[in-house]
Structure 1
Amino acid sequence: MASGSRQEVYFATMANQGNVIVQETPKFDLESYIQNYTGPTRFDRLILIGRSSVPLHLDALRAAFAEAKKSHDTGRYREAANYFNLAAPDEAEELFSKSWIDSTDAANSAETKRLEREMKVYKNNLVKESIRMGNEELGRHLESIGDLAGAAEAYGRMRPDVSTPKHIVDMGKHLVSVSMQRKEWSSVIGQLNKITGLQGSDEEKLMQPYVRALSGVALLGQESYEAAARQFLEVDGSSISIAAMTDGLLSANDIAVYGGLLALATMDRTQLQTSVLENSKFRAFLEQEPHIRRAIAQFVNGRYAGCLSILASYRADYMLDLYLHRHVNAIYARIRNKCITNYLVPFSCVTLESMDAAFSKPGESIEAELASMIQKGLVNARIDSINKLVRTAKKNPRVKLHKEALEVVSRFEKSTLDRLRRVNIAEAELEVKNSRKALNAADMSDPFFEMATPVAE
């Protein structure tokens, strides 16, 4: 089968499995990019690129194949081999080693049995610290071979035997690592909340980037974009390596991209200026991704077409990010809607031609998109299709003031009539004597009591 037709079949299969296919070549260099990560996330990122990127899929699958062979996880090795066999069967057949799988599985099984035997000895001796360390070692082994459910169970068994705040933090970090791999975002947030506040001020300051960064990823996974943005913007990485602090899960570039994009999608221009561009904590991250700073500055300065152009040029990169790729379309749609809405604010009437020049590709029109935004209530405007104009509906402050004044007068008239009615009832001796205090109390609570009651001479 020709390489071109084989590639078409491969990506048709990937698309049927629910993967997003990225035709454009990303701006990052694969080898330099993947060096920012360690551990399981490195393999996961390579596999995602191998499933999605047309220009880089073979290089990514080769790297994933080699990465899997460095580990003890035969499941990852088989997964990489399956994808590689679909993309390049001849090369995959040469690289695949059944003997390595058999020997690794045998070694993993023997190590698991050894650790379980040691755990039985520790439990019989009733030494809490030995039991805790035994469960931790067993959990690490199970995590390294891909048994995430068993690893979570082993780490959870550490709980009755922890005796110091450091032990609780270590246990929480292990559980967070497993939950991140399983994409159980609520569990990640729960474990991070347990970690917070358990140590002294110095230790807590050191843990702050870890807690903030992973909380942001978990909130992003739950589509809580505004809360996630605030978490990323509060990460302080001035003196700490984010990759080392997050156990290789994230890089400083990721913090800049996630925080910047989510801030653009959820914050107004004033908040972007104060919380992002003037944020001393976040400035160090923006230096890693200067195009994010430029996009935010363009939006703040009202140059919306420039902002969208910068983001569009990096879209392929973000579609290949492990935690961001499922949210790129929603985030970009929010940013675009904000740009269009803010563009219309200063005008009462805008030509469709000028909006097409700012927001549409050559030969395309924004009219249908704008009509959809109006129907959804995102824009308060009307489209004049005959004259090709967009007329915005402006709120008249004088109308609002007159309406409020009439409401005040109406309430005063009603209160005055109620008071006159009470006076007439009292003069006719028709009132119930026991309720007089209640009536007086009601009068005193009336906002117009002081205005309506005459002052005794």
Structure 2
Amino acid sequence: MAANSEFFNNRAQNGLVVVHEPPKFDLESYISNYQGRTKLDRLKSIGATSTCLCLDALRLAMEEARRGKDVDAYMQVMEILQKIVPGDPLSETDLDWVARTKLVEKAESDRLDQELKGYKNNMIRESIRMANEDIAFHAYQIGDFGSALKAYARAREFRQTARHEIELFLKLAMVHLATKQLHHLGNAIQRVLAQPLPTEDKDIIDALLPPLNGLVSLAAKNYADAARSFIATPQSYTALEPRAGIDFQKELITGNDIAVYGGLCALASMSPQELKERVLDSATFRHFLELEPHIRRAISLFCSCNYSACLEILDSHRNDYLLDVYLQPHLLQLYELVRRKSIVQYFKPFNKVTLDEMQTRFPSTDGRPIEEELVDMIKRGSLEARLDLVDRLLISPTPHPRSALQAQALDMAQSYERTLRLRLMRMNMLHANLVVASGKGRGPHMEALRGGQAMTMEDVAGSNGSYGDLMDY
């Protein structure tokens, strides 16, 4: 019923992701790893994407929203439910709860504003800072992220210690993650890096910055940097104690997320040798890979040239990753990059391969013939090959010895010409007594040429070649 709803039909027509097959994970077990706004955002994403889990996910999202203060988030969940199952009792909006919650929110906002005005009149800096932070946190809870950012900016003006700066950064990070404007999070990271960190806070920042940087790079589609950041996450991240009221493993990303994000970005951007040295053999990232053994197995298969098995593992978890709030916008591109790398690596040792063999090794996931994909790769320059559609062969380009010999001859001629010019220059300099020998006096011609400052061989060789080149002649 939900699969045929107008809501999912419209999403598909607009090119948005719709997942019809059930994922491998159990929804309640999966979502129990998260809490707070991260939990709500993930449930909303699953509910708006999966035709199998939409009702369960949206029901849990509705319950999570009602435990909080964000009326807008609750209304968004109910709006989706009404589009999927119109007329169902589950989709009836609790208007009484909405009205009561709005009154409580307004009363709390007014109270916090009055407290701030009183502290401003008394000019108590620490109280002003704390009042602004309370206003910001309240705005974050009710979903008013713009006001939260403004209040945190005002609080920064009254910070007095480095610890205040660190805790402010952590709270700002959660707001930026909620807004999905991760480039602003990158700016906040640069600001905190410019601050001298207290010794007791350095371990927390060192553990948090790699996954945060990874999310920023992932959002910017810079998968190589994202891979390096996630891989650099220390094992201590999974043991971080809550700070500034934030439970990082449940409100930011889990260790499982780090393994999946880092593994997929590494597969898409690193060579087989880099994968082995920097991922599989990494003492720190190995701990995260143990949480997601299929990711480790996929990387191991890629490094051992078993590309078909690697792609099969990734395809078997495609639906799971399409429901991930951070991976969903990038998953198809990541999978395409891994597939193209696999094709290039598979073809490297051969002079020619039949298209039927390529189709068997790399079955299409979208029904497109393999030759169309190969033509696209050749046009993009990612695959150096020729396509013979008559004999249905993929052919490696034949090297041209004559062209290589001609290029080598031209390089040699240029090298000889440079050598000759250097030798002639040295002969002329010696003949004109323009060279100052080590330990001897300077010639009058040199003094006149440099205005009283004698030139050495190094001076002359500076723009024409190295001193060693001249002395060799």
Say whether residues 1:410 and 2:414 are aligned partners.
yes
Q: Cα offset for 1:309?
A: 0.7
Structure 2 residue identity aligned to 1:216: G
TM-score (norm 1): 0.89
Q: Distance in 1 between matches of 2:168 and 2:293?
A: 37
Query: Do 1:238 and 1:284's aligned partners in 2 also have CA atoms closer than 8 Å?
Result: no
Moved more, 286-295 or 199-208: 199-208
Q: Distance in 2 between matches of 1:293 and 1:224?
A: 22
Q: Distance in 1 between matches of 2:427 and 2:176?
A: 72
Structure 2 residue identity aligned to 1:298: L
**In 2 relative to 1, CA 126–329 (structure 1 residues): closer, same or farther, beyond 3 Å?**
same
Within a 5 Å distance, the mapping from 1:33-432 to structure 2 comes to 33-92=30-89, 95-196=92-193, 198-238=196-236, 240-241=238-239, 244-246=247-249, 248-361=251-364, 365-393=369-397, 403-404=407-408, 406-413=410-417, 415-416=419-420
| Deviations 1:306-327 (CA, angstroms, capped at 9, x unpaired) | 1111101111111111011000
Q: Cα offset for 1:367?
A: 1.3
Query: Do 1:238 and 1:281's aligned partners in 2 also have CA atoms closer than 8 Å?
Result: no
TM-score (norm 2): 0.86
Q: Cα offset for 1:365?
A: 3.8
| Deviations 1:326-374 (CA, angstroms, capped at 9, x unpaired) | 0011111111111011111111222222211110249974111111111
Query: Do 1:122 and 1:131's aligned partners in 2 also have CA atoms closer than 8 Å?
Result: yes
Q: CA RMSD in A?
A: 3.0
**In 2 relative to 1, CA 73–321 (structure 1 residues): closer, same or farther, beyond 3 Å?**
same
Q: Distance in 2 between matches of 1:355 and 1:60?
A: 40
Q: Distance in 2 between matches of 1:147 and 1:425?
A: 77
Aligned to 1:373, what secondary structure does the other structure show? helix
Q: Cα offset for 1:204?
A: 1.2
Moved more, 184-193 or 372-381: 184-193
**In 2 relative to 1, CA 69–239 (structure 1 residues): closer, same or farther, beyond 3 Å?**
closer
**In 2 relative to 1, CA 449–375 (structure 1 residues): closer, same or farther, beyond 3 Å?**
same
**In 2 relative to 1, CA 313–90 (structure 1 residues): closer, same or farther, beyond 3 Å?**
same
**In 2 relative to 1, CA 330–71 (structure 1 residues): closer, same or farther, beyond 3 Å?**
same
**In 2 relative to 1, CA 168–364 (structure 1 residues): closer, same or farther, beyond 3 Å?**
closer
Q: Cα offset for 1:247?
A: 5.4
The alignment-based identity, stated in percent, is 36
Give the paired residue count. 445
Structure 2 residue identity aligned to 1:102: A
Query: Do 2:352 and 2:394's aligned partners in 1 also have CA atoms closer than 8 Å?
Result: yes
In the alignment, structure 2 segments of 5+ residues that lack a partner are: 241-245, 432-444
Q: Distance in 2 between matches of 1:205 and 1:394?
A: 55
Aligned to 1:26, what secondary structure does the other structure show? coil
Structure 2 residue identity aligned to 1:150: S
Q: Cα offset for 1:412?
A: 1.7
Structure 1 residue identity aligned to 2:167: D
Structure 2 residue identity aligned to 1:348: N
In the alignment, structure 1 segments of 5+ residues that lack a partner are: 428-432, 453-457
Query: Do 2:207 and 2:237's aligned partners in 1 also have CA atoms closer than 8 Å?
Result: no
Q: Distance in 1 between matches of 2:126 and 2:398?
A: 69
Q: Distance in 2 between matches of 1:367 and 1:113?
A: 66
